[in-house]
Amino acid sequence: MHPMLNIAIRAARAAGSVVARAFENTDKVEVEAKGKFDFVTNFDLEAEQIIIDTLRKSYPEHSIVSEECGVLPGKDSDYQWIIDPIDGTTNFVKGIPHFAVSIALKVKGKLDQAVIYDPIRGELFTASRGKGAQLNSSRIRIKAHKELSGTILATALPYKQKASSDAYFAMYQALFSKAADIRSAGCPSLDLAYIAAGRMDGLFELGLKPWNTSAGELLVIEAGGLVTDFVGGHNHSQNGNIVAASPRLLKEILTDVRPHLTPAMKL
């Protein structure tokens, strides 16, 4: 195992342990609204600090980008950790057992290591660039669907981008008419991990952040899939609009969403 992946796993398990205990004692969870339908809890902050401390202990000069703390510069900017201490905070707050710790590492701008840890199910998804993707140390591969028929897609309503809702629902309808089902579970990192593991078949979503998607993106790629923006490019880490699936399925998804894209979605 790559030594940096090993440290990331250590950080994810330590943070996940705190989050899982908190989930069993919800009276200790303090919730603060960052915005409309956007929450942070005291355990987001505690888990985040555990991850940062674990990473900094081994790699003190690396930079870090985290959902709650923002950018923490380091002397060695070639190495950048991207952290979401609880992806799916709303699920966590509402008592829904579907959330994860997400940690990714970029080396010179390229995704290199990834960990997504579901502390409730004890599932650890990992990937190293060029080395494949694993679930609890067993190799996983994406389902190589050739068409939308029979597939299950993941998505989420664009509650932070309601101005795009008409375009989104048009895309939803175009895909739903062909797919078996479309589901929204409230945790993008696990959506991507499930695609990598063959549990889901594709994802389309607006307005995600790098800490939601970076680890999952590497998992999908290393499991044999592709991740793009809505026009098939690689601007998703900037605009937050993401499509993920096996290569042939992704091509069909892009074909079906293209007629409904707004000018802003094409950037």
The predicted pLDDT at position 88 comes to: 93
**Neighbour tally for 166: CB within 10 Å:** 11
* Nearest Cα residue to 50 out of 83, 97, 23, 73: 83
| Spatial separation of the C-alpha atoms in residues 165 and 155, rounded to whole Å | 13
Each residue of 19-47: pLDDT tens digit? 999 998 877 777 777 655 566 778 888 99
The DSSP bridge pattern shows strands 138-140 and 38-41 to be unpaired
How far CA 138 is from CA of 99, 209, 223, in Å, comes to: 21, 28, 12
Dihedral of CA atoms 136, 70, 93, 162 in degrees, nearest 10, equals -110
* Nearest Cα residue to 31 out of 43, 20, 15: 43
The predicted pLDDT at position 34 comes to: 63
Cβ atoms of residues 208 and 106 within 8 Å:
no
The predicted pLDDT at position 30 comes to: 79
Tens-digit pLDDT string for the chain (267 aa): 799 999 999 999 999 999 999 998 877 777 777 655 566 778 888 999 999 999 999 999 999 999 888 899 999 999 999 999 999 988 998 999 999 999 999 999 999 999 999 999 999 999 999 999 999 999 999 999 989 999 999 999 998 888 899 999 999 999 999 999 999 999 999 999 999 999 999 999 999 999 999 999 999 999 999 999 999 999 999 999 999 999 999 999 999 999 999 998 988
Whole-prediction pTM: 0.95
The predicted pLDDT at position 36 comes to: 58
The predicted pLDDT at position 149 comes to: 97
The predicted pLDDT at position 213 comes to: 97
The predicted pLDDT at position 266 comes to: 87
Half-sphere exposure of 81 (CA within 13 A, CB side): 32
* Nearest Cα residue to 205 out of 177, 178, 171, 180: 171
The predicted pLDDT at position 59 comes to: 97
Token code pair at residue 89: 């905070």
